[in-house]
Amino acid sequence: MLEWLQANLATVIISAVVAVLLGAIVFNMIRNKKKGKSSCSCGCGGCPMSDSCHGKK
């Protein structure tokens, strides 16, 4: 087990960093969704899907 860990240490570290970053992104998206913030960065003024993501007013 120790030999395998030494041979794959770089892969394990990089995978852990990527997993933490992905978790942080998902957590931020969930928090923004609960606050009612839009995921559209353009404000959905010219977004072709604005009707489906924000409904008609």
Residue whose token pair is 């892969």 = 11
Written as tens digits, the pLDDT of the chain (57 aa) is 899 999 999 999 999 999 999 999 999 999 988 888 766 655 555 566 666 665 555
CB 16 within 8 A of CB 24: no
Q: What are the residues whose beta carbons fall under 8 Å from the beta carbon of 24, sequence distance 6 or more?
A: none
Determine the pLDDT at residue 17.
98
CB 21 within 8 A of CB 11: no
Residue whose token pair is 């072709």 = 48
Q: Would you give the DSSP letter of residue 30?
A: H
What is the pTM assigned to this prediction?
A: 0.60
